[in-house]
Amino acid sequence: MALYAFNRREDDNLPQAESELMFSIGKTYDLYHLLLLLVIDIADLANEKIDQALMKRMPSAEDLNPRRRFVDNPVIAQLRINKALNDYLASKKLSWTNNPHIPRVLYNKMIAWNVYDEYMRSETHTYQTDKKFIIRMVTELFVASEDLNSNLEEQSIYWNDDMEYITAMVEKTLKKFKTESGESASLMPLYKNEEDAEFVKILFRKVILHDKKSSELIDKNTTNWEVERIALMDILVMQMAITEVLEFPEIPVKVTLNEYIEIAKYYCTSKSSTFVNGILDNIVKEMREEGIFNKFGRGLVGEDYSE
């Protein structure tokens, strides 16, 4: 999407485009923390409901003996005291304070959810079942909420297609939580390592700087098609794949092709993945025959340099 935006710019300000890319990645990381916080806020609301019921002039038997399994969930308790989460939220001043209706809407959906009812009634009380419920809450209830998704789009233009990816990050994070983790349970870092961070910048720059070279390869291998007639997103996906094959010798060609075919399915038209797959196969075959790229280390997987 950053490349698409750059191609729509009236100038060729690469530093500015790169800055916007890094900002968008940072916003995605903000969303990761906000979804973890949302779990806590919903639990706080549930606890408030219990307290309010106890203050009734004539509380019912259910009011006097509330089901507290959700509000006492040990995974939520760990999130509540998690140092990394609290430090990040404080440093970025992130909260749901300006959107209090979102925790309320999701709380109401949760208590009407059959998965919640089964969880609350289950006689199996283990850390693993508590953790499983929170994971399902994020990956199913949050993802299916039109109110949440609409609100996120209103809050940031960078969040309109991040939900699936971020909920997967949250799931991976929670799966690693253990009973003894306490406040030190690890969250996922923004980047796996420095090499990962550099990969983003280098790929972005190289795709732009090698635009002419990759466009010529695409044009040469699109029989009966002119580059100008191919959808811009299709072209960008192919340019990224070509650049990765050429500029990252440690990444196997098969890995690159598989990744960008999946990206085409997500960002391009329904027929794009087949089209992109066919064109990239032809381009890679041509580059192999002409010896345009060389792989080493892990990147040699699937390559034949025996001759």
Does 225 score more than 70 pLDDT?
no
Rounded to two decimals, the pTM is: 0.86
Distance CA 115, CA 139 (A): 13
Does 300 score more than 90 pLDDT?
no
What's the rounded mean pLDDT across residues 175-192? 92
Token pair 């994971």: residue: 135
Chain centre distance of CA 47:
30
Residue type, 1: M
Asked which of 58-62, 117-121, 146-150 is least confident by mean pLDDT, the reply is 58-62
What's the rounded mean pLDDT across residues 151-172? 92
What's the rounded mean pLDDT across residues 254-279? 87
Radius of gyration of the chain (CA): 24
Residue 252 confidence (pLDDT): 93
* pLDDT bucket at 56, cuts 50 / 70 / 90: confident
Distance CA 118, CA 87 (A): 34
pLDDT, tens only, 77-108? 999 999 999 999 999 999 999 999 999 999 99
Does 227 score more than 60 pLDDT?
no
Asked which of 3-7, 59-63, 146-150 is least confident by mean pLDDT, the reply is 59-63
CATH classification for the domain delimited by 194-300, as one of 1.10.3720.10, 3.30.930.10, 3.40.830.10, 1.10.940.10: 1.10.940.10
Residue type, 299: G
What's the rounded mean pLDDT across residues 189-196? 91
Distance CA 176, CA 292 (A): 43
Does 244 score more than 80 pLDDT?
yes
Q: Where are the domains of the chain?
A: 26-184, 194-300
Which two structure tokens, joined as six digits, stand for 40? 């806590």
What's the rounded mean pLDDT across residues 227-252? 88
Closest CA to 214 of 286, 267, 274: 286
Asked which of 56-65, 100-109, 129-138, 199-208 is least confident by mean pLDDT, the reply is 56-65
Distance CA 168, CA 177 (A): 15
Does 226 score more than 60 pLDDT?
no
Distance CA 100, CA 109 (A): 15
Residue type, 75: V
pLDDT, tens only, 7-35? 888 788 899 999 999 999 999 999 999 99
Residue 307 confidence (pLDDT): 46
Residue 201 confidence (pLDDT): 92
Residue 137 confidence (pLDDT): 98
Is-contact 264 231, C-beta < 8 A?
no
Report the chain's mean pLDDT, rounded to a whole number.
90
Residue 302 confidence (pLDDT): 66
What's the rounded mean pLDDT across residues 124-136? 96
pLDDT, tens only, 64-77? 677 889 999 999 99
pLDDT, tens only, 105-128? 999 999 999 999 999 999 889 999
